[in-house]
Each structure stands twice: as structure tokens, then as C-alpha cells.
A and B are shown apart, each in its own frame.
Chain A
């Protein structure tokens, strides 16, 4: 089977300082990969290199495109990469405000990606937007309300709906549950787990919250100081961590 995403030797330096160094992994269709590590360990740098928000200094990110098979997205032309990022890719920001247009209604937010790929029928766009609001457990009657009137958890769910409406195959998530209280987090995780399973999505989740990866991820990478120190199946890494740093991470989780 061809990997959906194949990352080889991604390196990003900020001057003399290392953002992330020589990261390689494969992600297969339907698989959810977690990337964990403390603040400053290079998780977000790695994620931003993969989606093209940052240009890596070395390495390649090969994505299995629908039309042309495996393509290196780092050397790909910008229009092609931007096309990918609004069709096959989705990016869920930590702060919903970064991923939403706060001055535009919920329906407009969800419809934007549809209109960006050429949908020009108002009725259809609105129906799809309402349908997606319901799928993320937002009342369809609120389709004309602005995200500013939504709670934090609803904004995050709206951001997810907006990203999934074009049926992407790969979702990048940057701390999707950061800043939400625990009950809202639980609901969001439940929703995400359902969507990932139903749509057969592949996902890369960057987080420092081990509980999130325990619930969502099939596989896990632990990063420290820009390097991957341990990788493996989620349960294996969390229940039997081998590297000293992974052991520290796991033992640092507070128990209630």
C-alpha cells in the first residue's frame, strides 16, 4: 500500500537553533498519528513544515495526490499546494479564531471552501452548510449567526465543519482541544473520533495532552529538542515508554 503521506528528513533551523531535525515517517490511509512533546520541542514547526506554512531547510513531504500520485509538496508550485490545502487537506488551528472568519456567518464560514472550489449554487451551499453544522452538533437554526456569538467549544466544532466540508483525506490538527474545559474537550474528542472513523480520515494531531492521543491516535511520535526520540503504537509508547524522556512525560500526567 502507498503511504498517504511520506515525510523524509524534514529539517528546519532558526539560525543556529534547531526547529526540528531529520524527522521521517509514513502515514497510511485511515491512520491517525499523534505527535507529542513539551512546549518548544518542535512539534508545531514540524506541522507547519508539512502543510507548507514554513519552508523546510531540507527534506521532502510526499503526498499521494488523487490526480498525479505521490508528489513532493515542498517543491510543488504554490497554486498546486494551495489547491491541495483547500481540497484534500484540512488544517484545524488551536485557536478557532485563527481558522474562522469572525465577521462572516457560520454558513458562510462552512461554505467558503465550497465556493473556493467553484460551487456557485446558493441553495446547495446552504444545504451542505446546514448539514455539516448538524454533524458537528450545532443547531442548524444558527446557520446565519456569526461565530462571535458561539461558545469556545462551538467555535472549535464550527472550525472542524468548515474544514471537513470538502471531504479532505488528511487533517492536520494543532492542539485541537487546547483552551477548552474538560467536559467540552471530551465532547469534541468524541465527535472527532466519530468523524475520523466514519469518513476514513487520516490525521496528524499535534498536542501536549497525552489523553488526547490515547483516545484518537493509532501511532505516536515523541519529540524532544526538535528530534524524534521514540515512535510506536500509542498503547505501546504510553504503557511501556522506553526513552527516558517519554517515561518522564507519561509520569508527569496528573491523576485525578
Chain B
């Protein structure tokens, strides 16, 4: 496709985004404002992630997109095709083969390596948003490190539900400084955020914010002393590959209460099945 510049965005825009990414990497967890562009897809479909991916992609990269862990859902397929057409990069569904992975709502099960980049799509980058609606005030709270309010949310969870019921977008503290929204990943994935070998970049298109975690960053999930953080998942094994350590999707299979639990990470599940692992419902 010669009608587009490499990876759709023009070079000046990519430079602007790269500057924001570098600033974000220099201040882990800090939300860097950037001039988000209109993308040929609606807000909420990953416009922030797509812009970050476009800025970091090189012609030699291998690109993978997952949506809720899966390579074959609408969002993943359309973004993968988008970069196949506008950048001509190779694409893959295999986690270990990819050099750039754009994700919505999951971190791959397979541990990422140095040299890989994980790009998150972020709907609402501000963890304090639903407690304090004023942007001027939340910025001040970040700059003065006033994070008591975040615990008020967790307090409310316990007082309503008896335990911390926040199951996704669970707030974390980065390097003992900034409180960060890890995008709506399940809290099962939170422990993987910290000390990761890969670079993690977060892009919020509508809210015009980029933030980042450099490799091997300390990331701590917030909690109370008497209600410690717990990474939760469904108490089952995958019905297809038998994995007991992966995050599971519940799939309703009939109208009589029948259901099955399968790995949300499709690549992980398929590679396990190929290696001969079998779950109870495996064909």
C-alpha cells in the first residue's frame, strides 16, 4: 500500500507520540498528555493502542493483536489487518514470535521476553476518575501523591461485599510513586505487570494520555493489611487443554445451565493442545 505512510500515521505524528512514550518510560506510571489523532475506527476500539503501535512499529517487526486474550475476535482481527495493509509488517498469533503485541484486557499467559513490547488499549487512564471527577484535582493529587482516596474505593468494596470486589482495572502503585490504572485487565494479571522483561506501553486515544512501564519495574497492587491483594480466577481447569494456571472464560453452551471454562488466551490454549495436553471436554 503506497497510498499510506508506513503504519498509517505521518512521521511528525509518530515523532510526537514517541516523545510522549519516552517521557512515559522516564517517569513510570505518569500519564503523559499527547495530541491524539483521529483514527479510522471509533473511540473505544483501541485508537490509543493503535497510535502507540504505529509509533513503535518498524518494517522488521512481527505484530500480534489480542482482544480479551484471543487472536480471532473482531477487534483483534481488524487491527491486525489494519497494520498488515498500512505497514506491511508480518503478523503472527504466536506470543513468543511477536516483537510487538497490542492487547485489550489481557496479558499473555506465556512470560514475555526482553525485546518485546506490549501495547495496552486504555479506555480511562485516570484511576481516580470515578472518585474525583475534576481533572484539575486529580492531577494535583498525583503531583502531591495524595492517594488516600484510592483506598476509600477499596474500603467501600469491603464494606459492601465483604472482600475487595474490584476484579479488573485494579489500581497499582508504580515504583512507590504513581498510582496507575493498569487498563481493564483482570486482577489475575496484576502480578505479571511488575518485574516484566518486556516494555509495557499504555495508550488512551480518547483521553489523550500515554503512560508506560519500563522493563523490571516494581508494581504493587493496592490493598489493606487485613485484606491483602489476591489474584483471582475461576476455580476450574481449562476444558480444552486442562491448564489450571491460566485465566479462564466462562462459556455458556446451552440454555439448560451448561457451561464450560476455557483459557482466554487462545494461543496458550492451542499450543498446549498441540503439545498433547487434554482437558475434560477436548474433542
Binding site for B on A (CB under 8 A): 78-79, 82, 86, 101, 104-105, 107-108, 111-113, 115-118, 120-123, 125-126, 143-144
Contacts and interface: CB of A to CB of B under 8 A. Distances in A.
For the complex of A and B, the 7 pairs showing the least CB-CB separation, nearest first, are: A116-B148, A115-B151, A122-B224, A115-B148, A121-B225, A79-B144, A144-B159
Given A82-B144, A117-B148, A105 B226 contact: no
Given A120-B224, A123-B226, A112 B159 contact: no
B129 interface: no
Nearest to A111: B155
A104 B146 CA distance: 18
B167 to A, nearest CB: 18
B171 to A, nearest CB: 13
Contacts of B39: none
Contacts of A126: 159
B158 A122 contact: yes
Interface in B56-73: none
A108 B159 contact: yes
Given A79-B144, A121-B226, A115 B160 contact: no
B219 to A, nearest CB: 18
Contacts, number: 53
B37 interface: no
Contacts of A125: 155
A112 B148 contact: yes
Interface string B143-160: 010101101100110111
A101 B151 CA distance: 14
Contacts of B155: 107-108, 111, 115, 122, 125
A111 to B, nearest CB: 6
B151 A144 contact: no
A104 B225 CA distance: 21
A115 B151 CA distance: 7
Contacts of B148: 86, 112-113, 115-118
Contacts of A78: 144
Contacts of B280: none
A4 B224 CA distance: 35
B159 A116 contact: no
Given A120-B224, A121-B225, A115 B159 contact: no
28 contacts: A101-B131, A104-B131, A104-B156, A105-B159, A105-B160, A107-B159, A108-B155, A108-B156, A111-B155, A112-B148, A112-B149, A113-B148, A115-B149, A115-B155, A116-B146, A116-B149, A117-B148, A118-B148, A120-B224, A120-B225, A121-B224, A121-B226, A122-B155, A122-B158, A122-B225, A122-B226, A126-B159, A144-B160
Nearest to A121: B225
A143 B226 contact: no
Contacts of A122: 155, 158, 224-227
Contacts of A116: 146, 148-149
A2 B226 CA distance: 42
A241 B152 CA distance: 49
Contacts of B160: 105, 144
A143 B159 contact: yes
B156 to A, nearest CB: 5
Interface string B196-226: 0000000000000000000000000000111
B176 to A, nearest CB: 13
Nearest to B227: A122
Contact of A112 (B152, B224, B226): B152
A135 B131 CA distance: 27
